């Protein structure tokens, strides 16, 4: 079966004229008010978004098959895609169980770390995701400072480069392409990498870029450098008016595919 996640998220983007993935990094230890706050934000901002991204902020305290499924359902009702961001990097038997739970809750795509490798690692979960018409997004270069200690390392790969040294993020990009994934993550704090990557992958992988706002990246230049989607959290969530903040970023960064 052809995986339609890339087509679905592009359609969501076109419908709302938006390149924004809202990171629902909302804090709260009481499940009920946390769910209500999340749904409230989603209702305020949904029309300005293409997708939402959920991580441990919601996936740990909230019940997956009730509260999280309710959030995903609301996102779908608003014409948005839902991405699970657990940066999975486990053995395949655990990864496939994890993914099957996420698909059952309604997620359209998940983010994984290609560091864990293909065989008995991400291989089976990529295959299973595509059979279920869901997407896989791989980390290529994260946005925080310490990312250089991993994604910026010089490495020698026996399997991919016949002994040549390259930077880890180049190796990860090769993996995303050769493993048949759907998207990659490249931090907005690394504009040079973004330019190189986006020229290489155009049309083959969607580029998601976190790190604008609180972490220092700028929305408009990031899209101009070739990112397909901005992952935005605090700039919208912490604004006096999340709806207005989302609309402002949407207007400043929208361009058709």
**27 lines the binding site for its own copies (CB under 8 A):** yes
Consecutive H or E run containing 83: strand 81-88
How far apart are the C-alpha atoms of 27 and 33, rounded to whole Å? 10
Largest Cα separation within the chain, whole Å, is: 54
How far apart are the C-alpha atoms of 232 and 249, rounded to whole Å? 9
User: In Å, what is the CA distance from 224 to each residue of 103, 141, 153, 191, 234?
Assistant: 33, 18, 27, 10, 21
**162 lines the binding site for its own copies (CB under 8 A):** no
One residue of 21, 86, 207, 227 binding its own copies per CB under 8 A: 86
Q: Decide: 133 and 127 in contact? Cβ < 8 Å.
A: no
Q: How far is the CB of 74 from its own copies (least distance, A)?
A: 20
One residue of 14, 149, 241, 251 binding its own copies per CB under 8 A: 149
**39 lines the binding site for its own copies (CB under 8 A):** no
Our CB check for its own copies shows the closer of 14 and 104 to be 104
**232 lines the binding site for its own copies (CB under 8 A):** no
User: In Å, what is the CA distance from 175 to each residue of 23, 77, 165?
Assistant: 25, 34, 15
Our CB check for its own copies shows the closer of 68 and 80 to be 68
**154 lines the binding site for its own copies (CB under 8 A):** yes
**143 lines the binding site for its own copies (CB under 8 A):** yes
DSSP 45: H
Stretch that binds its own copies, among 2-10, 37-45, 61-69, 125-133 (CB under 8 A): 61-69
**238 lines the binding site for its own copies (CB under 8 A):** no
Return the percent helix, strand and coil in the chain, to nearest 5. Answer: 55, 20, 30
How many other CB atoms sit within 10 Å of the CB of residue 172? 25
**120 lines the binding site for its own copies (CB under 8 A):** yes
Stretch that binds its own copies, among 95-103, 196-204, 220-228, 236-244 (CB under 8 A): 95-103
Give the interface with its own copies as residue ranges (CB under 8 A).
25, 27, 29, 31, 55-57, 59-61, 63-65, 86-94, 97-98, 101-102, 104, 113-123, 142-150, 153-157, 159, 165, 168, 215
């Amino acid at each position: 079966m052809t995986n339609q996640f890339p087509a679905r998220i592009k359609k969501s983007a076109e419908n709302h004229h938006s390149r924004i993935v809202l990171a629902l990094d909302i804090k709260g230890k009481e499940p009920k008010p946390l769910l209500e706050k999340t749904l409230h934000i989603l209702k305020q901002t949904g029309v300005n978004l293409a997708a939402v991204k959920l991580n441990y902020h919601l996936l740990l305290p909230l019940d997956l098959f009730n509260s999280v499924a309710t959030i995903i359902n609301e996102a779908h009702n608003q014409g948005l895609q839902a991405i699970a961001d657990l940066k999975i990097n486990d053995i395949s038997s655990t990864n496939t169980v994890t993914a099957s739970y996420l698909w059952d809750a309604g997620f359209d795509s998940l983010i994984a770390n290609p560091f864990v490798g293909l065989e008995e690692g991400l291989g089976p979960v990529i295959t299973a995701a595509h059979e279920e018409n869901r997407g896989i997004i791989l980390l290529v270069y994260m946005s925080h400072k310490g990312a250089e200690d991993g994604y910026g390392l010089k490495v020698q790969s026996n399997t991919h480069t016949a002994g040549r040294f390259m930077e880890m993020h180049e190796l990860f990009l090769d993996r995303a392409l050769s493993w048949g994934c759907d998207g990659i993550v490249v931090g907005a704090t690394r504009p040079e990498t973004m330019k190189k990557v986006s020229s290489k992958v155009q049309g083959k992988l969607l580029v998601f870029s976190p790190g604008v706002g609180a972490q220092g990246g700028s929305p408009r230049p990031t899209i101009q450098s070739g990112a397909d989607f901005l992952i935005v959290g605090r700039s919208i969530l912490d604004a006096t008016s999340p709806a207005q903040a989302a609309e402002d970023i949407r207007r400043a960064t929208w361009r058709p595919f």
